Each structure stands twice: as structure tokens, then as C-alpha cells.
Chains A and B, each alone.
Chain A
């Protein structure tokens, strides 16, 4: 029989590892193209606020089905304040998410707003896919494959009904790239009463008998060829004037149409301008102009369209001075404070949730300890008021923690969760008549001071999922947690539990980010499965650690590792920052360390309160009904 030496096994292992690393890299390479077309994601400026990306759906009578669209509400959006809207149509093949994944329009808008270069504006991304297929091509027109032009108008009505928008045509800008650019100009010219300005990024202006127009009549083709029908709507264009900006790559076949189209538009009373850039028909042409398109849309919205050229020039000058005023300071100082308050609320929720979970466990243990010997079944526990209250508190705390993770930065939620002992221990001490020592009191005060310092110069940047980074982090951390958890050493099991809980929190955060974009469908993602698996992994390893060693060290180690993982995942996978400035980040890091340093002292206090009963699984953060069974066993 052939023998394999250790050297060969090591070489083979190294080769397999290298190949797996390479294949993971290849996946990231492909994902980077699919999501960002190879461009690096736009970093959010430290002082920029974060808006909300929502997925809305409604019944579309044009498409005879429920149809949806994505909408980005700028930072500080309130129903009391009415904003203009930029409608952006994707190319074909394509999907609405390209404006978020590749173009980063939301981050760009946040940054431009923080710099005072644009006014607040709502971004809407309709979905022009036939039956949801990315590779379909509707041309955003009314064809036998679906009335997509009518659908866009329905989206406008739905947006005006659901959100606080400026309802005048001059406050609506429509744009798009490639087929979306064609759709934008075609729809705007058909629906003059709806849109006031158009942006055409590498668009074309004639339709031929192909795709959805394969069986179209000459009249239909003419009706959908703007370059042909613009002269026929000259009278309407006088009533509802239009402003058009077009650009195209020099090597793009459509570049030949741009000059004739601009000429036709101008001769028929449209304020048209255009540019021919280097490049072809791809994102290298569109990408450099994205900020400019947002600024242009912001300037065009609210700009009166009926003004004669001379008056318009003076208005442009006035508008420039207003924009210069924005640059001197943030215009929305009052509204910018709202996300910060929301985050603070979420962090307090994390603190309260952790306190509720800890208190809930204490009550459960007390309840079970008070049961007469032999009556420790689940049915008996259900009749125990203290146990039931503990369960209810635990589950409420768990739900609140999920909510806190969804709203606030992951890296800070974990620190606040660890600090929950500072509330639960004094509360429990009052309830159970426990005397708190000086050291424990000092720990409570130190935690309170540390947590109070965390909101200082708090960064509001969070909630952006870099799924490639998260997959990589999980690919490293999860096997590590499993390996460490399999070791029969209590402290290592506590460390593994911390890693599992950190992963679970990151997965919950990922689900919440996806939820904002895809709605409840995000629950069916792999992140949910990961959250469940990691939570159970954490629960199992933590229980094993508690049984084998001092609960105080187990709780402390678990919390420390969970916080460490949360900070790492928060920074690298969710683009979080520990503070707006390096000093603030350092203070926050120190505060988190101090909180974790105080955990053993308070965990000991909790342990002493629990020690009245024979139970040993206190401190676990996830309350599960099966916890009552071990006593009977």
C-alpha cells in the first residue's frame, strides 16, 4: 500500500487552500463586476447623513400586476417638507439596483447634500424588466410585452400620493442610460404634462423592427421615434416647455444621432444641450458624469420653464448664488439631527434590551428555583408566574435587540448590549434584596460613563452592506468558531460563543439592510439561515462553557468576543466608523474596552444572585423555551 508522508499531505493541503482562496477571490472578482462594474464603491463623507432606500409596490393597471419601484428618500426627509424628484430609468439588460450598486446614487446624493452642492431631492428607480427578467428589453414603451410607459406615469402618481413631493412638472426630472435614456426622452415627450427636464445618457432616438417592436406597425415605430415626431408636437412644447441634456460616447453608434436630435429639439422650442465624451456605450462614459447629473437635476428642478432666455440667465445667476450659500454651511442643520437622535434611541434600545434579557433570565432561574422538588417539568414552569415573566422579558429583549441591530451601527450595539448588566444588576439587586458591593457600584458607574461617551461625535454612517466582505469575514470566522467550539476547553467554548453571536448579529444586520431594498423577501435570504445557525451555535457552545467553567469568565469572554467581532464586521462589512474623527473613534474604542472590562465584576454579581438556585445557564443572551428542560433532566 502506498504511504503518504506528512510532507505530501501538507503540500496537498496548501495547494487545496490556495485554490479555495483563489476561487473565493474569483467569486469576489465576478461579484465586483456584477455589482460595481469594477469601480470602487463611493465612500460616504464623514459629515454626510444617510437617507432611506425603500421598495414600494402597487397594483399597476398598465402591467395588469403588482409592480414595484425603488425610492431613495434623502437624509432629513420629512412629510412636512416637499422635495423634487429625479426618476432614473435603467438600461436593458438591467435592473433598478444598478443605480445603487454601480452608480452609488444614494451615497453621491448624501455627499453632495452634505457639501451643499445640491438641494434635497428624492430619487426613484422604476423597474422596466418584463416579468422581472434582467435580460428582458421593454424599451420602456407601450408594447404587447407590457405598457411600460404608462407604468412610469403610474409610478409618478404613486410617488406623489405616498411621499412628500413637489407636484409641478418643473419639479420632476427624468433620466436614464442606454435604453433607459431612450425611454426617458420618449416618455417625457409623450407626457409633457408630467416631466419638465430630461437627462439622456447615451440614448438613441429611433426605433426599428426588433425586440418588442418586432411586429410593430410603421405608425407605432414613428410614435416611438422621438427624432421623427418632435416636429409634430411643436405646439404642445410651447405650452409645456422642456429642458433636455444629452451626452454620448464618441465611439457609440448612437453618437451619430445626437447632433440631429439636438437640432430637431432646438428648432421646436426645447432648451436642448449636449456633449460628446470619449468612450463607447458603457459605464466608463456614464460614471464620471453621475455627480454632475445629480447637480444638474437639482438645478433644473424648480427652475421655471416658461421664462424667456434673458430672464433665465438672470435666474441661473441667482441660483448659483444660492448654491454658493449652501457651500458655506449645511442647509439642513435642523433636519440632519434626526438620524443621530434615531441612532441614539436605537442604542438606548440595545441597552434596555440587554437589561431585559439579563433580568428575564434571573427571573426564570428564580422561578424555577422556587418550584417544589419534583415539579420541574415544562408544564409546571408554565404555571410559574416568575418564570413566565422572565420568558416574556427575555423575548421582548431579544426582539428589541434585533430592532436595535437593524437601526444602529453593529459595532456600537454590541457595546451597549454588554453594558446592559449595568441596568439589570442594580434592578435585580433591588428586586431580590441583594447588596451591591463598592466594586460593583463602581463598575456600574464606569459603564454608565463609558456608554454616555459613545454618542459623542457619533458617526451616523452605517447600513451599507458589502456582501463580498461579509462573505469573506464569515468564511473565516464561522469555521474558526466551529473549530474552537469543538475543543473541550470551557474558555475556548465561551470564545466560540462570542464569535457565533457576533456572526448572528452581523447576519441580522444584513437581513435588515436587504429588507430596506427588497422588503420582506429579504427574510428568505441566506443571511437569515446564517443568523439562525449562528444563534444556535452560540447558544450551544455558551451553554457548554457555562456548565464547564465559572459563569463569570464565560459571560465576560463571550461578551468581549462578540463585541470584537461586531466592531470588525461593522467596520469592514457595513462601512461603519467608530467615530466621526480619529479622536472620537479612539475614545469610543476605549469606552467599549472599559465596558467589557467591567462585565466580569457585574457578571459575578449576577452569578451570586442566581446561586440561590441550582441553575447554571444564566447570562445567555437568547432565551429559548428548552432552557427549562435541563433541570428535569
Chain B
């Protein structure tokens, strides 16, 4: 029995609209997830700030921008790396179905922009300055750039790990065909 694949224009339009709505919803969901994981990145770094054994490497200025008044905004490299790689990992795990290219694009462009904005907003808040003025005149320190980079790298880790596992299992099958045939399970 054959099935007609032709759809009437009304159904086609409905399908396109549905697709667009679903895509928009997925986009909004991804953005919300991005915001939440960025927040958890700051939270993890804030939680790690007391770990002395992780105080390794140079201080990354502006890593915790809200602590600038107290002089604790600069955090050691190892702490920043641990927190932001973990945050990126969470984001990558949640969006493991998304291609690496899209993921890196989202994290490195939207994520870094959000981190730069957060840095300027924190500076304006702490110094009682107008945000629009700060956004125009202030260049954030290395912190948000570095955090964005680590976040992007962290987000690609889950797919790399999955690929690595697949290639290993493929290699195993290739190297032991007789055993695999004998025990198909």
C-alpha cells in the first residue's frame, strides 16, 4: 500500500509554524539553561574561594566581580578553571544532542557577552555608577574572557568523552571480531 507524501499548503504552513515555535522554545530553553549554568559557575567559584589547596596559579582579576570592594575579586587560576570547566560541563551535558559547533558558538559568543555584561554591571553596582556609562567606557579585566573560554571548553567535553568511548568500543570490536561474533550480547 502506498502512502501519499504530498501535503496541502495549509498543513505545510501549520507544520512550519509548529517547527518555528518548537525551535523558538528550544532556543529560549537553551538561553535559560545558559543563564543558570553561568550563575552556577559563579556560585561554584564562590564556594571554592576558601579552598587553599586550590589556590594555584596567578590571580585572575575580575573573576568574582561582586567582591571587588573587599579586594577578593581576583581568584587563583586553578579555582577559576575548576569552577568554570564544571559549569561548562553541566551545560554541555544538558545539550549533548546539540552539535559541538553550535555549542561552542553559543557559549563563546552569547556566554562571553553575558559574562562581560555581568562584570560591568557588578562594577557599576559596587561603585555607584550608571550602568550605561560603565558599559561604554569600561573594558573588563581578563576574568570574564577567561571564564568564557573555560566555559566553552567545558561544554564540549561531554561530546568528546562520548566520541572517545565510541571510538574505543569500535576499536575493540574491530580487534576482536571472533569473540564478538561468538557472544553477540
Contacts and interface: CB of A to CB of B under 8 A. Distances in A.
Check if A and B associate: yes
Interface of A: 11-12, 15, 18-19, 21-30, 32-33, 36-40, 178, 280-284, 287
B51 to A, nearest CB: 12
Nearest to B46: A29
Residue from A12, A28, A284 whose CB has the most chain B CB atoms within 10 Å: A284
Given A25-B47, A40-B70, 9 more contacts: A19-B37, A22-B37, A25-B42, A32-B46, A37-B70, A38-B126, A281-B127, A282-B127, A283-B69
Nearest to A472: B47
Contacts of B87: 22
27 contacts: A11-B93, A15-B93, A21-B43, A21-B44, A22-B42, A22-B44, A23-B40, A25-B45, A25-B46, A26-B39, A26-B42, A28-B47, A29-B64, A29-B66, A30-B66, A33-B67, A37-B69, A38-B66, A38-B68, A38-B70, A178-B128, A282-B127, A282-B128, A283-B69, A284-B68, A284-B69, A284-B70
| Shortest Cβ-Cβ A-B pairs, 10 listed | A22-B40, A25-B43, A26-B43, A38-B67, A38-B70, A29-B46, A25-B47, A22-B43, A33-B66, A26-B39
B69 A19 contact: no
Nearest to B47: A25
Given A12-B93, A38-B70, A178-B128, A19 B47 contact: no
Residue from A19, A30, A39 whose CB has the most chain B CB atoms within 10 Å: A19
Contacts, number: 96
Contact of B69 (A15, A22, A23, A282): A282
B117 interface: no
Contacts of B69: 37-39, 282-284, 287
Given A23-B39, A29-B43, A18 B90 contact: yes
B36 interface: yes
B152 interface: no
A30 B118 CA distance: 12
B43 A28 contact: yes
A250 to B, nearest CB: 13
Contacts of B70: 36-40, 284, 287
Interface string B74-98: 0000000000001101100110000
B145 interface: no
B87 to A, nearest CB: 6
Nearest to A91: B128
A348 to B, nearest CB: 38
Nearest to A202: B128
Contacts of A12: 93
A22 B89 CA distance: 13
B70 to A, nearest CB: 4
A387 B37 CA distance: 58
A30 B41 CA distance: 13
Interface string B101-119: 0000000000000000000
A281 B37 CA distance: 32
Contacts of B46: 25-26, 28-29, 32
Residue from A11, A18, A22, A25 whose CB has the most chain B CB atoms within 10 Å: A22
Interface of B: 36-37, 39-47, 64, 66-73, 86-87, 89-90, 93-94, 125-128
A193 B170 CA distance: 90
A280 B125 CA distance: 13
Given A29-B64, A282-B69, A19 B40 contact: yes
A19 B36 contact: yes
A139 B67 CA distance: 28
Contacts of A284: 68-71
A22 B44 CA distance: 5
Contact of A38 (B72, B86, B93, B127): B72
Nearest to B37: A19
A19 to B, nearest CB: 5
A282 to B, nearest CB: 5
Nearest to A283: B69
B160 to A, nearest CB: 14
Contacts of A24: 43
A282 B126 CA distance: 7
Given A33-B66, A38-B67, A281 B43 contact: no
Nearest to B64: A29
Contacts of A32: 46, 66-67
A28 B46 CA distance: 8
A121 B71 CA distance: 31
A30 B64 CA distance: 11
Residue from A23, A29, A287 whose CB has the most chain B CB atoms within 10 Å: A29
A23 B64 CA distance: 15
Nearest to A37: B69
A40 B46 CA distance: 13
A25 B47 CA distance: 6
A280 B127 contact: yes
Contacts of A178: 128
A38 B71 CA distance: 8
B42 A29 contact: yes
A23 B36 contact: yes
A15 B68 CA distance: 30
A22 B39 contact: yes
B90 A19 contact: yes
B120 to A, nearest CB: 15
A19 B91 CA distance: 9
Nearest to B122: A33
Contacts of B40: 18-19, 21-23, 25-26
A39 B89 CA distance: 31
A24 B44 CA distance: 9
A281 B129 CA distance: 9
A21 B128 contact: no
A280 B127 CA distance: 7
